[in-house]
Chain A
């Protein structure tokens, strides 16, 4: 089913030099689908998924680090911010809202998880 990625996924993002940093995890809302949601998130978020989700990253190197103990992943997008916050001409030079943009994107989510 097509729904916003942020339907049950939380995010926080920021900068580290010229790289953007994005944390994604499944919110703790008492849903009986919690474990299945976590498994889906960990299986779904790959570098290619991120490049499709956020087309502005499509030509960039993306790393995804799974942290199952925190029910989520850490994503590093290399070079999104150019040479760093002070030098970036990007709309959001510190990638503070990158996570909320990601949450607003529509993705295909298995209906049983919703």
Chain B
């Protein structure tokens, strides 16, 4: 069986909108994936859904598919993403509507069962178990052209298509672990190709960085690369960057397999091509990790600009002046570095004093706080100015990890023809 060519066109909700088209036009692929979910994104989607229950998915994905579905179908590239967020059924329905509007009739499947809010996480806005890749594999085996999921692990977007393509069983731990590594490398988009990279000075930067591609072989080994003619680089260092961060320890736990990170071997195998071999895998943990977000409270902040002489005295005075208005349960002050003496620019002579307030209720961080800061404008330290007028406060979330028995989660594929299939 030939290797499967899996591209990535998104590392987060808000990534380059044109990347789906770039990846479809830039070279051959079998599957194009996109990761839209981070811990924080689940909270944002949870708040969207509070306002409108039909939302809760990554809306930019609809725009991307609207632009590119015809192209993907024509080239036979499957689209697989976790853009479904909290509402994969809603996203699948919306994509079907969009497709019909364009006179296209793709087979659209969705995967859910990750949402465990009903199982008792008191106060949780969102609670999603991290699912593995076998739901995606089943959806593709069922003939789907487009697969949208909720909270599968980021790497599952690669594990699933590779397991489908190569017919891996759930106990093919080494192969699965190899694809987890490939998935982990490409799930953050351009972070595999020279973005957010300490060695940026040596990377081709005259063009936008290309998004990454993983060519996954039947044994789970892979080559990480990018389309020809794109900016950036794929080197042992750009791949290492992605492997050494966002892990916690040498065993990388996932729903399908535990990956031994000490077994990974990387080697340059051509221009912008890095081979990933030797990856060992073991049986996954008994329990699944759950991403839980609660509304933590409300927050606001204000930044005062302090310029010139007597910075510390100026800071002390404005702090004292604002203190009666600081009724929030948490108040954090921070003062930037003292500016150099005799600076030859005004900015160089200035620093920022920041006050951040948090409280369970909106009132203490709302107008009572912002108006008190503004009222000082003509009645405080010389040169009083702020970087922006303080806002009315925004809600914030608190994330925590929980664990749930596999038996409590019903990992379900909803095929385009209406059939449902429960995975494991």
Contacts and interface: CB of A to CB of B under 8 A. Distances in A.
Given A89-B332, A99-B198, 6 more contacts: A6-B198, A10-B241, A18-B399, A67-B243, A84-B39, A85-B39
Q: Which 7 A-B pairs have the closest CB atoms?
A: A23-B244, A84-B399, A23-B245, A10-B198, A86-B397, A12-B245, A89-B356
Interface string A1-30: 000001000111111111101111101100
Given A69-B263, A76-B248, A91 B198 contact: no
A14 B266 CA distance: 22
B396 A87 contact: yes
A91 B244 contact: no
A62 interface: no
A21 B247 contact: yes
Contacts of B249: 63, 65, 74, 76
Given A83-B398, A99-B198, A22 B296 contact: no
A27 B39 contact: no
B128 interface: no
Residue of B39, B396, B399 ringed by the most chain A CB atoms within 10 A = B399
A74 B245 contact: yes
Contacts of A14: 245-246
Nearest to B394: A86
11 contacts: A10-B197, A17-B39, A17-B399, A21-B245, A23-B243, A23-B247, A67-B244, A74-B248, A83-B399, A86-B396, A99-B198
Given A89-B330, A89-B358, A99-B198, A70 B397 contact: no
A84 B236 CA distance: 31
Interface in A29-83: 63, 65-74, 76, 83
Interface residues of B, number: 43
B174 to A, nearest CB: 16
Nearest to B357: A89
Given A12-B241, A13-B245, A69 B43 contact: no
Nearest to A99: B198
Contacts of A87: 296, 358, 396-399
Nearest to B332: A89
Contact of A70 (B199, B264, B332): B264
Interface of B: 39-40, 43, 191, 196-199, 235-237, 240-250, 261-266, 293, 296, 299, 301, 330, 332, 334, 356, 358, 396-401
A72 B398 contact: no
Given A6-B198, A87-B358, A21 B397 contact: no
Contacts of A11: 198
A10 B398 contact: no
A68 B264 CA distance: 10
A75 B111 CA distance: 34
Contacts of A96: 196
A84 B330 CA distance: 15
A22 B89 CA distance: 36
Given A70-B264, A89-B358, A100-B198, A17 B401 contact: yes
Given A10-B198, A11-B198, A86-B40, A69 B245 contact: no
A72 to B, nearest CB: 5
B245 A86 contact: no
Nearest to B250: A65
Given A67-B262, A69-B262, A12 B242 contact: yes
A44 to B, nearest CB: 16
Nearest to A88: B396
A16 B199 CA distance: 24
B7 to A, nearest CB: 22
B295 to A, nearest CB: 10
Contacts of A6: 198
A70 B244 contact: yes
A70 B243 contact: yes
A70 B240 contact: yes
A19 B400 CA distance: 11
A72 B244 contact: yes
A69 B40 CA distance: 32
Contacts of B398: 83-84, 86-87
Contacts of A100: 198
A15 B143 CA distance: 37
A5 to B, nearest CB: 11
